[in-house]
A and B are shown apart, each in its own frame.
Chain A
Amino acid sequence: MNLVFERAEVERELGAATGEVLETMFFASIEEMARDRVEGGSGDRVGAMVAFHGACEGRLAISLDRGAVKGLAAGFFGEDAAEMGVDQCESVMGELANMVCGAMLSRLERKAIFCLEAPVAFAADADCGGWIEKDFALDDGLLHLAFSLSGAERAGPQ
């Protein structure tokens, strides 16, 4: 199967999947930020990336201010944010990346089979640019997403 996605469609579904995952599983609401309004974060960020293959190949990388990750992890586990350690923060970011990526791919093509690899943590200050990048404001931090597809599967203006 050779899937081709329009940029506008991917942007729309990435935003919708992110909102759905954060509201349903993390009890957090988000507001999309225009890219020209995004300012640099605190510098202490947690990153996670999930790669996928199957009907098409690519990856989703996300990063978020560490303080906000603690809040997300607390919502996910039902515990106090102060008790959330490094491992818990990284595993929750991995789950967030996994769920957003899976939900978005399912929205884009319901007839195909995708395989998501295990999420991996990465240094959030590393280059994680993508074909499509989005930023969402949470209550106490900025969530950055960078989605990439292999070149043959993109369509529309770059």
Chain B
Amino acid sequence: MAFDVMVVDDSPAMRRFIRRVIEVSGFTTGKYLEAGNGIEALAELDGNWVDVVLTDINMPVMDGEALVAEMRRRPHLRSVPVIVISTDATDARIDRLSELGAQGYVTKPFAPERLREEIERVLGVTPEGALVGATAGDKGGGDELSF
């Protein structure tokens, strides 16, 4: 089962790292889109459906908060799950992103397993295609990834 993913981060290095984590996690990606800020992401999303958006917060031009808010305003993007990946681990920021409509939040630094678990939780399936929470044995999570 292939997932279409968009990663939004102004750092090419972090986009590359996240892609590597997704690949190591065992998720099969179909489309893998990248954007350097919220405006670029919205332009890409207008012509491409994705299963999940992973976004940073602090970015030039349009930051992650504005991106999430704008996605929730646009009918065709309203249901696309968003996972925030940020160094900001403050309760205030996490609460604000949740109120705006982000479904997941991963704070940097993160172990690869942490990002996999959050993607599984938000998508509701494991990399192997099993429904999350169906049975403990089917989940496939919690193992240390070979990185």
A77-B92 CB under 8 A given contacts A24-B111, A25-B109, A118-B10: no
Contact yes or no, B109 A99, CB < 8 A: yes
A57 CB within 8 Å of chain B: no
Q: Are A102 and B89 in contact (CB under 8 A)?
A: yes
Bitwise interface map of B from 59 to 75 toward A, beta carbon under 8 Å scored 1, else 0: 01000000000000000
Task: Tell me the complex Cα distance, A82–B147, Å.
Answer: 19
Q: Can you name 29 A-B residue pairings with CB atoms under 8 Å?
A: A20-B109, A21-B108, A24-B109, A25-B109, A25-B110, A76-B13, A76-B17, A77-B20, A88-B13, A91-B11, A94-B13, A95-B14, A95-B17, A98-B87, A99-B87, A102-B87, A102-B89, A102-B108, A105-B88, A105-B90, A106-B87, A109-B90, A110-B89, A111-B90, A113-B88, A113-B92, A113-B96, A118-B10, A118-B60
CA–CA, A56 and B4, complex, Å: 39
Known pairs A111-B90, A113-B93; A95 contacts B16 (CB<8 A): no
**Which residues of chain A come closer than 8 Å to B25, judged between CB atoms?**
none
Bound Cα distance from A109 to B93, whole angstroms = 11
Q: A-B pairs with CB below 8 Å: how many? A: 79
Residue of A92, A98, A103, A106 with most partner-chain B CB within 10 A: A106
For the complex, is A123 an interface residue (Cβ under 8 Å from B)? Answer: no
Count residues on chain B whose CB falls below 8 Å from chain A CBs: 25
Contact with A along B110-136 (1 / 0, CB 8 A): 110000000000000000000000000
One of A76, A91, A113 near B90 (C-beta < 8 A): A113
Q: Besides A78-B147, A103-B108, 10 other CB < 8 A contacts?
A: A24-B111, A91-B12, A91-B13, A98-B11, A99-B87, A106-B87, A109-B90, A110-B90, A112-B92, A118-B60
Which residues of A are at the interface with B, using a C-beta cutoff of 8 A?
20-21, 24-25, 27, 76-78, 88, 91-92, 94-95, 98-99, 101-103, 105-107, 109-118
